[in-house]
Chains A and B, each alone.
Chain A
Amino acid sequence: MRNTVKIIIFVIFFFIIGVFYISLTRETNYNTSSLINKEVPQFKIAYFDKNGFYTKQDLIKNNYTLINFWASWCGPCRIEHPILMKLSAENNLKILGINFKDKKELAGKFLKDLGNPYSFLLKDIEGKQSVSFGIYGIPESLLINNENIIIKKFVGPLSLDNYKEIKEMIN
């Protein structure tokens, strides 16, 4: 009896330490192709320049949402910016920008110079929140319907073809 108790106690501690070790060494799986037709993960991200948070529940209010991950230091983001500006004119679509690992003043200057296409702008200074969306580089964009399902994922800068594709999908 006493030996069983001892073994159980040892096993419990081994288990706990094992799990701690797994948590340390774990790499989040970045394969994102499986995201399509899946629901958006739960998230709560701080606004870029005001108090408060934008959450998954806020997404439902939009017909379609394009979540765009960007940063002022990212060259390709500059390239896709005119496409985002064009998309911002669409009535059926709201663009949610997530500013990724960026400096606030530089991001602000970027938008001042090139225009602000975003209906909502959030910040992910450490880049940790974006990981739960399966983002491994920027720019990336996710097109989401009003049931919070990811219907398309764009890796790299949006092109004119992507623009047409998005326009077709939302209308």
Chain B
Amino acid sequence: MLSNLGNSILFISAFLSISIIYLANKNLKTSNNLIVKNIYQLSLIQSTLIIVCFFTLIAAFVVSDFSLVTVYQNSHSMKPVFYKIAGTWGNHEGSLLLWVIILTIFSFLFLIYNKDHPKKFRLLTLIIQNILILGFLFFILFNSNPFSSLSPTPSEGLGLNPILQDPALAIHPPLLYIGFVGSSIYFSAAMASLIVNYSEKSFSSSIKNWVLISWCFQTLGILVGSVWAYYELGWGGFWFWDPVENASLLPWFAMTALLHSLIVFEKRNLFYFWVIILCLITFILSVTGTFLVRSGILNSVHTFASDPTRGVYILLFLSLMIFSSIYLLFKKYKKENYNLNQNSKETFILINNWFMMFYLITVLLGTIYPIFTDALTDNKISVGPPFYNAIIFPIVVIFLLFMAVGPKVKWIKNRFEDIKVYFLILAGSIILNILILVFIKSYSILSNFIIISALFLIISSLKDGVSAIQKNRIDLARIISHASFGFLVLFIGLNHIFSIERDYNIKVGETKNFENYSIKLEKLDLKDFPNYKAVIGTLEINNNFSSEKNILKPEIRIYDNPKTLTYEASIKTNLLKDYYLTMSNIDRSDYYNIKFQKKPLMIWIWISVVMIVIGGFLRLFKNAKYS
């Protein structure tokens, strides 16, 4: 029954998309500046229907309707309700439905919130967005249908991979999708703007809030993914330069560049084509990421069960997007003359964009290079953290310095009046760095530079904040985001420098000593839980220096459906550090392998990212207030 209902709604939605395209096209030819009511109504019905369709699928997961292939393959009747619901988007088919929800809702909201803009521009944006919606609806209907039914109905489902049964992972995909699927709306708007030659400053006001929304959610999505990797994967790291992580980072770089160049466009009417290019590549990179993840040409914790026909469809879609955007761009491109003064805000924002492009190209090359060598030369290589660390981190130093100075530079022309202040801040940062070196621990030259530049950015941003408060003209959003980015780099740097990692084989009753610490495996317990059994170790960690005592309880879990062994890290978090402990069994012996890590300031890394996003939301609220 649910299968029929879902399929019918999908077909009606596709029909609605076609109707919207038809009506919008017809409405384009009328001379008045009004969009006919029918278009609003159809667009609202379409978003509502897709949401109903998604709830139908959620219902199928909740009641464990195994007559649907997707439910059978990704759920189990014994699973907690929360994970049954989260399972709806934890698989390829269901997550595509989430894609379409975001496409339609954004399409509708863009239509109703941009009434001040030219009719043609709005209608064309709607048409292009609906072509995208139609593309994805066809993909769902004919290739990846979450409502495909199975006969005879199996009595039980195959279950959701246990490492995916985690609260962070339940919210990670929706956040990330709002981010990169959300970028579709400014892709459509950019195409529409090219077609109708809508290149005035006011174009920026039609998209800037959408860019902000997608940027905030993309950042949050990446954060939650990292948090999940840290708590669940049991490696003690939070970023692995895994190709799929990179796929989420690529649109982020483009969005960040876009966010900044839009400021110039809005203020000075410069960089129109550059803004358009960034709008186009953000969504193109999002779809490229989807292609890499869903087609199975990459191997990663994220890859869904692969199916080449899926890949062919997305690739076809991607090619159409790329070639139509390049074609349109070439046709409409006019050379813009930038008469930029070296010391102007415009130049500094342009420099920000160069950095973002540099990071984007580095990560893009690192991600697709292995695919190229494999396809062309049969050589399997993997590009790992050493490549990214070597290229990205030295450049971060210069980037942070520009990021500190840039916002204070004036539009058009600037005279560096407060250059002395910057020297003082730099001197202060160097002294702070030396204090850390002398009193705690020495570290590499590059780390020195990173810490100094991060401190420089933090202090300059805070100083800006203080002087802005005095003048009562505070740009809180920017100050919070920039200072928090400085904190983020600082905490990542300190975390890297001061981490301790130790590996031991240990049996019950034994104690291991290292540095100031001793670890004792006190006991092992076997416990039964509703959907798994667990061997729980109790380990006492003593800091002999501060006589601080901690009990950590790592687990080895044996899940029933599907039968899987997972290792649960035990993590003790406080404001200064995390203790991170994983345990695994060793065959045919009573020894257990334990891995102990001390990770300083972990919680501050998460907090910094949250603060960066808060900056973004503040800017969004401010924009909303003024419009």
Q: How far is the CA of A121 from the CA of B295 in the complex (A)?
A: 31
Q: How far is the CA of A47 from the CA of B564 in the complex (A)?
A: 14
Pair B593/A19 contact, Cβ less than 8 Å: no
Is A112 engaged at the interface, CB distance under 8 Å to the other chain? no
Pair A104/B565 contact, Cβ less than 8 Å: yes
Interface pairs A-B: 9 shortest CB-CB = A51-B584, A24-B311, A23-B297, A22-B375, A23-B375, A19-B375, A17-B319, A24-B308, A6-B330
Is B563 engaged at the interface, CB distance under 8 Å to the other chain? yes
Q: How far is the CA of A132 from the CA of B585 in the complex (A)?
A: 29
Residue with the greatest number of chain B CB neighbours at <10 A, chosen from A13, A17, A51: A51
5 contacts between A and B (CB under 8 A): A6-B330, A20-B371, A24-B315, A25-B308, A132-B380
Pair A16/B326 contact, Cβ less than 8 Å: no
Least CB separation from B318: chain A residue: A17
A-side contacts of B371, CB under 8 Å? 19-20, 23
Is A26 engaged at the interface, CB distance under 8 Å to the other chain? yes
Which A residues from 14 to 41 make CB contacts under 8 A with B?
16-17, 19-26, 41
B-side contacts of A50, CB under 8 Å? 584-587, 593
Size of the A side of the interface (Cβ < 8 Å), in residues, is: 28
Is A58 engaged at the interface, CB distance under 8 Å to the other chain? no
Pair B375/A26 contact, Cβ less than 8 Å: yes
B-side contacts of A52, CB under 8 Å? 584, 593
Q: How far is the CA of A8 from the CA of B227 in the complex (A)?
A: 41
B-side contacts of A16, CB under 8 Å? 368
Main SS at interface, chain A: helix
Instruction: Give the contacting residue for B295; candidates A13, A24, A132; CB below 8 A.
Output: A24
Is B374 engaged at the interface, CB distance under 8 Å to the other chain? yes
A-side contacts of B326, CB under 8 Å? 9-10, 13
Instruction: Give the contacting residue for B567; candidates A22, A23, A51; CB below 8 A.
Output: A51
Instruction: Give the contacting residue for B563; candidates A13, A24, A103; CB below 8 A.
Output: A103
A49-B565, A50-B585, A105-B563 as given contacts; A20 in contact with B297, CB under 8 Å: yes
Size of the B side of the interface (Cβ < 8 Å), in residues, is: 31
B-side contacts of A167, CB under 8 Å? none
Is A128 engaged at the interface, CB distance under 8 Å to the other chain? yes
B-side contacts of A132, CB under 8 Å? 380
Q: How far is the CA of A22 from the CA of B586 in the complex (A)?
A: 42
Least CB separation from B381: chain A residue: A42
Residue with the greatest number of chain B CB neighbours at <10 A, chosen from A22, A23, A25, A52: A23
CB distance from B508 to the nearest CB of A (A): 17
Residue with the greatest number of chain B CB neighbours at <10 A, chosen from A16, A20, A52, A121: A20
Least CB separation from A129: chain B residue: B299
A24-B297, A50-B584, A51-B567 as given contacts; A13 in contact with B375, CB under 8 Å: no
CB distance from B305 to the nearest CB of A (A): 10
A-side contacts of B593, CB under 8 Å? 50-52
Pair A128/B299 contact, Cβ less than 8 Å: yes
Is B580 engaged at the interface, CB distance under 8 Å to the other chain? no
A-side contacts of B319, CB under 8 Å? 17
Is B575 engaged at the interface, CB distance under 8 Å to the other chain? no
B-side contacts of A128, CB under 8 Å? 299
Task: Give a binary string over B312-325; 1 marks a CB under 8 Å from any A CB, 0 the rest.
Answer: 10010011001100
A13-B322, A105-B563 as given contacts; A20 in contact with B315, CB under 8 Å: yes
Is B291 engaged at the interface, CB distance under 8 Å to the other chain? yes
**A-B CB pair tally, cutoff 8 Å:** 64
Least CB separation from A128: chain B residue: B299
Pair A49/B375 contact, Cβ less than 8 Å: no
Least CB separation from A17: chain B residue: B319
B-side contacts of A6, CB under 8 Å? 330
Q: How far is the CA of A93 from the CA of B288 in the complex (A)?
A: 48
Q: How far is the CA of A23 from the CA of B312 in the complex (A)?
A: 10
B-side contacts of A21, CB under 8 Å? 312, 315
Q: How far is the CA of A51 from the CA of B584 in the complex (A)?
A: 6
CB distance from A13 to the nearest CB of B (A): 5
B-side contacts of A17, CB under 8 Å? 315, 318-319, 322
Is B240 engaged at the interface, CB distance under 8 Å to the other chain? no
Q: How far is the CA of A52 from the CA of B315 in the complex (A)?
A: 36
A-side contacts of B291, CB under 8 Å? 20
Is B445 engaged at the interface, CB distance under 8 Å to the other chain? no
Pair B376/A19 contact, Cβ less than 8 Å: yes
Q: How far is the CA of A17 from the CA of B584 in the complex (A)?
A: 43
Pair A13/B584 contact, Cβ less than 8 Å: no
Q: How far is the CA of A51 from the CA of B371 in the complex (A)?
A: 28
B-side contacts of A51, CB under 8 Å? 567, 582, 584, 593
Is B22 engaged at the interface, CB distance under 8 Å to the other chain? no
Which B residues from 584 to 598 make CB contacts under 8 A with A?
584-587, 593
CB distance from A33 to the nearest CB of B (A): 17
Is B372 engaged at the interface, CB distance under 8 Å to the other chain? yes
CB distance from B225 to the nearest CB of A (A): 22
B-side contacts of A41, CB under 8 Å? 380
Residue with the greatest number of chain B CB neighbours at <10 A, chosen from A9, A16, A47, A48: A16
B-side contacts of A47, CB under 8 Å? 587
Q: How far is the CA of A23 from the CA of B318 in the complex (A)?
A: 15
B-side contacts of A48, CB under 8 Å? 587
Least CB separation from B567: chain A residue: A51
A-side contacts of B375, CB under 8 Å? 19, 22-23, 26
Which A residues from 49 to 94 make CB contacts under 8 A with B?
49-52
Pair A13/B376 contact, Cβ less than 8 Å: no
Task: Give a binary string over B493-506; 1 marks a CB under 8 Å from any A CB, 0 the rest.
Answer: 00000000000000
